[in-house]
Structure 1
Amino acid sequence: MLENTDYFNQVMIILGGSVISTALLRRLRLPPVLGYLAVGLLIGPYAFQLIPNPDDLSFLSEFGLVFLLFSLGLEFSLGKMNALRKTVFGLGSSQVILCSFFFWSVLHFMLGFSSETSLIVAGALGLSSTAIVTQELTRWNELNSSHGHSAIGILLFQDLAAVIFLIMIPALAGTSDNSFSFAIGLILLKGVALFIVMLAVGKWLMPFIFHEISKTRSEELFVMTVLLVALTAAWITHALELSMALGAFLAGMMLGESHFKHQIEADIRPFRDILLGLFFVTVGMQLNYQVLIGNLHWVILGSIGLVLSKAFLIALLAQLLGKDKSSSIRTGLILAQGGEFGFALLTLALTNGLLEAKTASLVVAIIVFSIAVTPFLIRYNADICQRLIPNKPYEEVPPHNSEELAEATSELNKHIIVCGFGRVGQTVARFMRKESLPILALDNDPIRVQEATGGGENIFFGDSASRKVLEAAGLHRASLVVITVNEYEQTLSILRSVRALDYQIPVVVRTRDDSHLEDLKQAGATEVIPEALEGSLMLVTHVMTQMHIPFRRIARMVQTAREQRYQLLHGYFHGRLSQLLDKQGNPRVRLHPVKISNSCYAHGKTIEEIKLNSCQVQILRIHRKNEDIEHPEANIRLTSGDTLILQGLTDQIEQAESLIYSG
């Protein structure tokens, strides 16, 4: 039993290593899960032994899976689950049976393992990683795609199958008190009863509880209630000898029906991501580097064999059960790895004497290797699929390769190319059609392309960041490019591709806010339209109209703000709940008031003499008695009572304050 200080030291080691590895891999643009696995390997019992017994911290990894499945359940309403029932029980059961039988046959007949050992290892290899697959699908916004739904459906059945395998191992070892058939029947009965109870609780009790909690307007109470619900559901299923992750998923699914879904999802995400990182560290601890080095060729061959055979079998099954070819291949690529439940099976088999330690270490190494390549397989599953079936990249939409796209757009001239056909792209298209202006849209969402094509839109499937696609879309003949995608990195990639082709064509870019305005301008954007700032200008226009201010004066003020690149609107006064970092982790521009007193260094000095330019901070305005001096000149002398409204990043503003107060 570990002392409290030992627990604290071990958690500190894990967190410290995770922070360093994640920061390093983020800079290298590699998946952070590789860093977690590497940290686990280094600090685990087989390397530096900083944590000699990983089982003492296994509860942390279990919490990670609980919150992952809870947040995943929020995404799947009862309607979605009903639609996925064929995938879960049809494709899911077929996948587990076929893959397990295939691996059992190879292990038993080709490698000479016993029937029991072959069955356990086959079960471990037949399961996939719920944690990494759902995390990466969410990261790349593919959770709600056709292949994403297929993958999640199979993973849900795999969670049920993992419970069956865990029951099977003591039975094979002769240590189980109940017969195997009785145990399976009991599990199914418990599962059905639990689902009915959770359905009732989720429909009638949970909405009432969260409605009452929301009335208190207490964030702490709301978050604590969410945590309590997720952990209670996991505790109940654990008490019923079912998977904790399964209970959390059911709880999330029930709450996904409520209008609190999005708030719950936002509150749970930090806990989920942190604990999932700890989970992958514990996975890395299972890897024995001595066995890995001594049998590296077998580990590599085993990992390649696992990924290729599993991807092929799943793709084949999916296609036989009615999925289209591209979706089947992408589902196979996504689920080609081993899974976290495999480690639990191997550990239990080792405890029951059904598996040798060396064999278990080899299988663990193979599973870890397959997990390590999974982020790349998921990230590039579309590219791999397109190479395998180049003439038919996606079955959901009419196929468009670059030659077909070029042929279809050959008669277009002086047209507008819209990159991204979401809400904003479609709004642009509607107004352009009213003016009879030719428009061509590009989007990489096959379902959206299918829907829009059916609605008569001139839209083609393609990656707008591809120079080949842009050329085929007639970029050299176009009069304007409009980039409306959500993600900054994707926007920047498209913009660079357009400018790399060296056509002097105007490019209008839509962004959410002003955090990347200057970067996009430097990358070649003709105009950058921050959605939030334009919305503010529109609101101001309506407010001033209601106050009977002449429209010409309003229009002049709005136009001035636009000409000054929204300088007047950059930054705002932050509150307790404000986000000081954007989605990429970069600091946001903020406003901050500083009042001048007689004791300040800046009292009696001009703005130029203070040298605030060295801090890269601007004085947006000076509030002096009953007047505001907008964009003050450098020769204005500051006096006691003046309030300077500073604009800049947080650390820059802190430096500026220091200059103003003490010089």
Structure 2
Amino acid sequence: RLWGMGARPALETALVLAPAGEFAFVVFATGMVEGIAPPALTSTVALSATLSIFSIPLLALLGQRLSRTKAPDRPTTPEGAAPPEQADGAVIVVGFGRVGRLIGELLKAHDQPFIALDTDAAAVAAGRRDGFDVFYGDAGRPEMLSHCGVQTTRALIVTMDAPGKVDEVVTAARALREDLILIARARDDQHAARLYALGVTDAVPETTEASLQLAENTLVDLGVPMGRVLVSIHEKREQFRRAFQAAMPAGGRSRTTRALRMSQINTAKLES
């Protein structure tokens, strides 16, 4: 509780951490070899540690039941942060942490309307205080995406750093709309390939982009002209993209191309 953990997670965590761990046996064996603890005491304590480890599932279940009887620490949804109904034409940014906020700032700087969704009440409250249209909601739920206007949005950007959750949102969004421009943050190359297989228009792997940025800065600092550096970085990025897209089934590749074309047509209609 001293580190700000709420009552319910603190209770569950305390119960699960209370038993011994596997490292206890290493400590006991070392103590006996070094003559710090007699063999009889070591055997007794090791038996106690073993029994306590077997009690972890029961203690976890007890913690869950006890936590359900306690009142929530704070509201899960910030006041006034309910998702909008049908934000026509606005880009949807899923996740408003460090990456999502940066994307939102750039969209705003270029006069591109957007709304953001996040399941972190603190992130939602902070974003709204700074003047962004951030709302509380789980974008992995198809009904939430429909409620926010996924059928008319110009693009959906998934910025979360949890690969499983990113996959969930991508799957839900693609099932609702085949012609959607769907851009997702990937953990690494393997995750990017999986996202292309799920139907994203573009996947941006963190490891690859970090390597490209390091290479760009290095070449510029070594005196290579900026124009040549940008061209080579762009070419390398396209090579990576083609390699990732090779993981997509043939139907997925044609669907992604069709999504890009249809979205460009819809964008032109909105602008006109």
Tell me whether the two structures share a fold, i.e. TM-score over 0.5.
yes
Q: Give CA-to-partner distance per residue, 1:337-386, whole Å, 9 cap, x none.
A: xxxxxxxxxxxxxxxxxxxxxxxxxxxxxxxxxxxxxxxxxxxxxxxxxx
Matches within 5 A, 1:165-244: none
2:190 to 504, 515, 520: 515
Q: What SS does the corresponding residue of 1:476 show, helix, strand or coil?
A: coil
- Structure 1 position 485 matched with structure 2 position 172: no
Letter in structure 1 aligned against 2:8:
A
Aligned to 1:282: 54
Matches within 5 A, 1:56-205: 81=2, 144=5, 149-154=6-11
- Structure 1 position 443 matched with structure 2 position 114: no
Aligned to 1:468: 143
- Structure 1 position 405 matched with structure 2 position 88: no
2:228 to 537, 553, 570: 553
Distance 1:416 1:307, change over 3 A: closer
Name the % identity: 21
Distance 1:307 1:458, change over 3 A: closer
Aligned to 1:592: none
Structure with greater Cα Rg: 1
Instruction: Kindly state the Cα deviation for residue 535 of structure 1 after the two structures are TM-superposed.
Output: 1.7
Q: CA contact under 8 A between 2:11 and 2:67: conserved in structure 1?
A: no
Instruction: Kindly state the Cα deviation for residue 553 of structure 1 after the two structures are TM-superposed.
Output: 2.1
Structure 1 Cα separation of the partners of residues 52 and 201 of structure 2: 44
Distance 1:451 1:558, change over 3 A: same
Aligned to 1:606: none
Structure 2 Cα separation of the partners of residues 157 and 483 of structure 1: 34
Structure 2 Cα separation of the partners of residues 152 and 495 of structure 1: 29
- Structure 1 position 432 matched with structure 2 position 107: yes
Q: Give CA-to-partner distance per residue, 1:303-353, whole Å, 9 cap, x none.
A: 99x987x566x33xx47xxx44x5xxxxxxxxxxxxxxxxxxxxxxxxxxx
Distance 1:465 1:284, change over 3 A: closer
Letter in structure 1 aligned against 2:218:
V
Q: Give CA-to-partner distance per residue, 1:411-460, whole Å, 9 cap, x none.
A: x4322111111111011011111101101101011121122112211011
Q: CA contact under 8 A between 1:514 and 1:530: conserved in structure 2?
A: yes
Structure 2 Cα separation of the partners of residues 429 and 459 of structure 1: 10
**Greater length-normalized contact order (CA 8 Å, ≥ 6 residues apart):** 2
Matches within 5 A, 1:506-585: 506-565=181-240
Structure 2 Cα separation of the partners of residues 460 and 490 of structure 1: 18
Q: CA contact under 8 A between 1:462 and 1:469: conserved in structure 2?
A: yes
Letter in structure 1 aligned against 2:205:
P
Letter in structure 1 aligned against 2:80:
P
Structure 2 Cα separation of the partners of residues 528 and 538 of structure 1: 17
Structure 2 Cα separation of the partners of residues 462 and 507 of structure 1: 18
Aligned to 2:258: none
Kindly indicate which of the two structures has a greater share of residues assigned to helix. 1
Distance 1:568 1:540, change over 3 A: farther
Aligned to 1:141: none
Instruction: Kindly state the Cα deviation for residue 153 of structure 1 after the two structures are TM-superposed.
Output: 4.5
Under a length normalisation based on structure 1, what TM-score does the superposition of the two structures give? 0.29
Q: What SS does the corresponding residue of 1:477 show, helix, strand or coil?
A: coil
Q: Give CA-to-partner distance per residue, 1:123-174, whole Å, 9 cap, x none.
A: xxxxxxxxxxxxxxxxxxxxx5xxxx21255469989xx9xxxxxxxxxxxx
Q: CA contact under 8 A between 2:90 and 2:115: conserved in structure 1?
A: yes
Q: CA contact under 8 A between 1:533 and 1:566: conserved in structure 2?
A: no
Structure 1 Cα separation of the partners of residues 171 and 13 of structure 2: 41
Aligned to 1:494: 169
Gaps of 5+ in 1: 1-79, 85-143, 163-223, 233-275, 287-302, 327-393, 570-663
Matches within 5 A, 1:259-278: none
Structure 1 Cα separation of the partners of residues 57 and 101 of structure 2: 49
Letter in structure 1 aligned against 2:137:
G
Gaps of 5+ in 2: 32-48, 245-272
Q: CA RMSD in A?
A: 3.8
Structure 1 Cα separation of the partners of residues 135 and 57 of structure 2: 47
Structure 2 Cα separation of the partners of residues 458 and 486 of structure 1: 21
Letter in structure 2 aligned against 1:418:
V
Distance 1:568 1:280, change over 3 A: farther
Structure 2 Cα separation of the partners of residues 425 and 495 of structure 1: 16
Structure 1 Cα separation of the partners of residues 158 and 139 of structure 2: 9
Q: CA contact under 8 A between 1:510 and 1:528: conserved in structure 2?
A: yes
State the aligned residue count. Answer: 216
Distance 1:564 1:398, change over 3 A: same
Structure 1 Cα separation of the partners of residues 14 and 56 of structure 2: 25
Letter in structure 2 aligned against 1:151:
R
Instruction: Kindly state the Cα deviation for residue 502 of structure 1 after the two structures are TM-superposed.
Output: 2.4
Distance 1:307 1:534, change over 3 A: closer
Q: CA contact under 8 A between 1:416 and 1:481: conserved in structure 2?
A: yes
Q: CA contact under 8 A between 1:480 and 1:506: conserved in structure 2?
A: yes
Q: CA contact under 8 A between 1:398 and 1:450: conserved in structure 2?
A: no
Structure 2 Cα separation of the partners of residues 451 and 426 of structure 1: 10
Structure 2 Cα separation of the partners of residues 152 and 419 of structure 1: 26
Letter in structure 2 aligned against 1:435:
H
Q: What SS does the corresponding residue of 1:515 show, helix, strand or coil?
A: helix
Aligned to 1:289: none
Structure 2 Cα separation of the partners of residues 562 and 479 of structure 1: 24
Q: CA contact under 8 A between 2:12 and 2:67: conserved in structure 1?
A: no
